A and B are shown apart, each in its own frame.
Chain A
Amino acid sequence: GENVGLHLPTLSVQEGDNSIINCAYSNSASDYFIWYKQESGKGPQFIIDIRSNMDKRQGQRVTVLLNKTVKHLSLQIAATQPGDSAVYFCAENIRGYQKVTFGIGTKLQVIP
């Protein structure tokens, strides 16, 4: 029979628009957060990270926002390009431990 798999949230964005991908993390003790991008047929790739003593961090075309009060993380991608199409995972970690817990991911589809 057919497997009932995880239903990945999907975000469709027009090329050139900004994308916002949201993530709710589970452990209030987590103090380090990472966003990964996974393209089809490849392993996850690090995009950007943020520590709990910050609420915003910017990279090239990407910004991560952290709201510890509501345990929410977001990834903003400016001027989204077709090459940004992928599944994006947030991950959380507790400082001092190497174990990282991944969320289920969000699929970003960029419409040319």
Chain B
Amino acid sequence: DAGVIQSPRHEVTEMGQEVTLRCKPISGHDYLFWYRQTMMRGLELLIYFNNNVPIDDSGMPEDRFSAKMPNASFSTLKIQPSEPRDSAVYFCASSLGGQSGTDTQYFGPGTRLTVL
């Protein structure tokens, strides 16, 4: 398996522009997570999905952020309009979702976003 795939790997944009980050989870995984990592706040969970349905979006910082999962193999995280403080590395992760309710999360390589 190729693992979790994220695109683009790097994104540089200007303040006010729309940014869309993409993620393909590992095939067969039922859970998908979006994280943001910054020097200021470390690794933060933004939102996660179970079987394409958003379960917890309490980490989404503002209405400027939105995430969708139209099918089991694709998810997007959109920022509109983007601001310089959104600059961070955004990770997508997926997990199988074991019967115990907890399973190992596998992370993608991340998208480094720079908003000028």
Q: Write the residues of chain A forming the contact surface with B, with a CB cutoff of 8 angstroms.
A: 3-6, 32, 34, 41-46, 49, 89, 93, 95-105
Contact across chains for A95 and B101 when beta carbons are under 8 A apart: yes
Contact with A along B87-114 (1 / 0, CB 8 A): 0000101010100111111111110000
Is B40 in contact with A6, judged by CB distance below 8 angstroms? yes
A-B contact count (CB 8 A): 63
A105 is contacted by which of B42, B104, B109 (Cβ under 8 Å)?
Answer: B42
How near does chain B come to A7, taking the closest CB pair, in angstroms? 10
Interface size class for chain B? 20 to 34
The answer to whether A5 and B39 have CB atoms under 8 Å apart is: yes
Q: Which residues of B contact A (CB under 8 A)?
A: 4, 31, 33, 38-43, 45, 48, 50, 55-56, 91, 93, 95, 97, 100-110
Q: Are B106 and A98 in contact (CB under 8 A)?
A: no
Selected A-B contacts with CB under 8 Å, 22 pairs = A4-B40, A5-B39, A5-B40, A6-B39, A42-B109, A43-B4, A43-B91, A43-B93, A43-B110, A44-B91, A45-B107, A49-B104, A89-B43, A95-B100, A96-B101, A97-B101, A98-B48, A98-B50, A98-B102, A101-B45, A102-B42, A105-B42
Asked if A32 contacts B102 (CB within 8 A), the reply is yes
